[in-house]
Structure 1
Amino acid sequence: MLSLIDWDKGTFKTDFFIIEEIFFMAEIIDLSQEIYEGMPMHHSMAPVNIRVHATHEQWAKEINPQTHTPSALRLEMSEHTGTHVDGLNHMGKEFAAQTIDQMPLSMFYTEGICLDLTHKGLQELISVEDIEQAVQIAGLSILQGDTVLLCTDHYRKYFGTDNWDKGPGLTVEATRWLGKQGISAFGVETMSPGIPKLTNQEVHQICGEMGFTHYENLINLHLLIDRGRFRFIGLPLKIRGGTGSPVRAVAVFE
Structure 2
Amino acid sequence: MFWDREKYQLIDLTLPIQPFMPDIVGYVKMTQWNHEQGARLNSVPTGINPIDFPPGPPFYEYHSQAWEELTLATHIGTHMDAPWHFFPTTENGKMKAKTIDEVPLEWCIGNGVVLDMTHKGPGELITEEDVKEALKKINYKLQPWDIVLIHTGWDKKWGTREYFEAHPGMSREATLYIIDQGVKVMGIDAFGFDRAFKVMGEEYKRTGDKSVLWPAHNVGREREYIHLERLANLDKIPKPTGFVVVLFPIKIEKASAGWVRAVAIVEKE
TM-score (norm 1): 0.83
Give the counterpart letter for 1:62 in structure 2. I
1:49 matches 2:29: yes
Give the aligned residue type for 2:26: A
- In the alignment, structure 1 segments of 5+ residues that lack a partner are 1-11, 13-19
Aligned ranges for residues 84-95 of structure 1 at < 5 Å? Answer: 84-95=79-90
Give the structure with higher Rg (CA): 2
User: Given the superposition, is the C-alpha separation of residues 146 and 76 from structure 1 closer, same or farther in structure 2, using an over 3 Å criterion?
Assistant: same
How many residues align? The count is 232
Separation in 2, partners of 1:48, 1:67: 30
Q: Tell me which residue corresponds to 1:16.
A: none
SS in 2 for 1:22: coil
Which structure 2 residue ranges, 5 or more long, are not aligned? 44-49, 53-59, 91-95, 204-211
Distance 1:181 1:67 in 2: 60
1:215 aligned partner, one-letter code:
L
User: SS at 2:255's partner residue?
Assistant: coil
- 1:33 is displaced (CA, Å) by 0.3
Q: For 2:97 and 2:186, locate their aligned partners in 1 and report how far apart those are by CA, in whole Å.
A: 22
Q: 1:15 aligns to what?
A: none
| Change beyond 3 A, Cα 1:140–1:23 | farther
Read off the aligned partner of 1:186 and give its amino acid letter. M
Quick one: distance in 2 between partners of 1:228 and 1:190? 20
What residue number does 2:247 align with? 234
Cα distance in 2, alignment partners of residues 233 and 200 from structure 1? 30
1:147 deviates by 0.9
C-alpha displacement of 1:36: 0.7
Partner Cα distance (2:176, 2:228) in 1:
16
In the alignment, is the contact (CA less than 8 A) between 1:114 and 1:225 conserved in 2?
no
Q: How does 1:167-206 map to 2 (within 5 A)?
A: 167-195=167-195, 196=197, 197=200, 199-206=212-219
Partners of 1:111 and 1:236 lie apart in 2 by: 17
Kept after mapping to 2: 8 A contact 1:37/1:48: yes
Where is the helix percentage greater, Structure 1 or Structure 2?
2
Q: After superposition, where does 1:32-181 map in structure 2 within 5 Å?
A: 32-41=14-23, 43=24, 45-52=25-32, 55-58=37-40, 59=42, 61-62=50-51, 71-95=66-90, 97-156=97-156, 158-165=157-164, 166-181=166-181
| Deviation sequence 1:72-131 (CA, Å, 0-9, x none) | 111111111100000110001335641111111111111111011111111111111111
Paired AA for residue 163 in structure 1: E
Q: How far is the alpha carbon of 1:161 from its aligned partner? A: 1.5
Instruction: Give CA deviations for 1:220-251 in whole Å, capped at 9, x if unaligned.
Output: 01112534221111101111101110000011
More strand by share: 1
Give the residue type in structure 2 aligned to 1:181. Q
Whether the aligned pair in 2 keeps the contact of 1:84 and 1:217 (CA below 8 Å) is yes
Q: What is the percent sequence identity of the aligned residues?
A: 28
CA distance in 1, matches of 2:88, 2:116: 34
Deviation, structure 1 residue 49: 0.8
How far the C-alpha of 1:200 sits from its partner, in A, is: 5.0
Moved more, 83-92 or 20-29: 20-29
Shift of 1:69: 7.5
